[in-house]
């Protein structure tokens, strides 16, 4: 599954074959077919893997002492991935965008993962006492997706680092009640 997530991110769903995934996983093609009869089943499993990664990440972040620290750690994690973003874009955002062009239900599955991220971020802003927590969550996630697209398009990881610093300052201002 990790190989499929990586190859879908690097090549896109449409260009990826089950053979590509088998090579990346260093397993015989038959092994991939045994577990995933179609590429769509593999894509669905990749979306589920992103959901599991998000659950693990938010559990880890929830161990931090306060919501501002959790949001800061989230942004710092995004910035740490700036080299990957410069080369391939956001691991989930690119997949969600590609799946949105399809009409097979996988677009709705991807939307559920993005909604889960929005809900978690919104809960952090709500814990900071913000009545506009939903709008702030959209703003933060949109800022990340935007900086990820620009970082990828311009192949400039420094852009993500600079924008990440701006987001950290923005979070600090919100946490301080400004």
Q: Is residue 149, in this structure, part of any structural domain at all? A: yes
Per residue in 101-114, pLDDT tens?
888 888 888 899 99
**pLDDT at residue 1 in the model:** 87
Q: Is residue 77, in this structure, part of any structural domain at all? A: yes
Q: Is residue 41, in this structure, part of any structural domain at all? A: no
Q: Is residue 165, in this structure, part of any structural domain at all? A: yes
Domain that holds residue 146: 47-177
The pLDDT mean for the chain works out to 94
- Dihedral of alpha carbons 146, 152, 157, 158, sign: negative
Continuous H helices in 89-132: 91-100, 106-127
- Dihedral of alpha carbons 2, 99, 162, 120, sign: negative
In the chain, the number of structural domains is 1
Per residue in 76-88, pLDDT tens?
999 999 999 999 9
Is the CB of residue 50 less than 8 Å from the CB of residue 91? yes
Q: Is residue 129, in this structure, part of any structural domain at all? A: yes
- pTM of the predicted structure, to 2 decimals: 0.91
For residues 100 and 46, give the distance between their C-alpha atoms in angstroms, rounded to a whole number. 15
Q: Is residue 80, in this structure, part of any structural domain at all? A: yes
CATH number at residue 157: 1.10.357.10
Average pLDDT, stretch 20-33?
A: 93
Is the CB of residue 102 less than 8 Å from the CB of residue 39? no
Q: Is residue 18, in this structure, part of any structural domain at all? A: no
For residues 89 and 95, give the distance between their C-alpha atoms in angstroms, rounded to a whole number. 10
């Amino acid at each position: 599954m990790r190989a499929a997530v990586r190859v879908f991110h690097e090549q896109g769903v449409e260009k990826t074959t089950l053979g590509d995934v088998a090579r990346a996983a260093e397993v015989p093609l038959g092994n991939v077919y045994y577990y995933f009869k179609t590429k769509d089943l593999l894509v669905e499993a990749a979306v589920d893997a992103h959901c599991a990664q998000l659950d693990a990440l938010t559990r880890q972040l929830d161990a931090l002492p306060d919501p501002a620290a959790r949001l800061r750690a989230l942004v710092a994690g995004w910035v740490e991935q700036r080299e990957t973003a410069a080369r391939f874009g956001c691991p989930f955002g690119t997949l969600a965008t590609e799946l949105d062009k399809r009409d097979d239900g996988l677009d709705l599955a991807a939307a559920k993962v993005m909604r889960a991220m929005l809900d978690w971020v919104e809960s952090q802003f709500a814990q900071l006492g913000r009545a506009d927590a939903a709008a702030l969550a959209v703003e933060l996630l949109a800022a990340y997706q935007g900086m990820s697209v620009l970082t990828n398009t311009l192949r400039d990881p420094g852009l993500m680092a600079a924008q990440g610093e701006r987001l950290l300052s923005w979070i600090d201002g919100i946490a301080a009640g400004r």
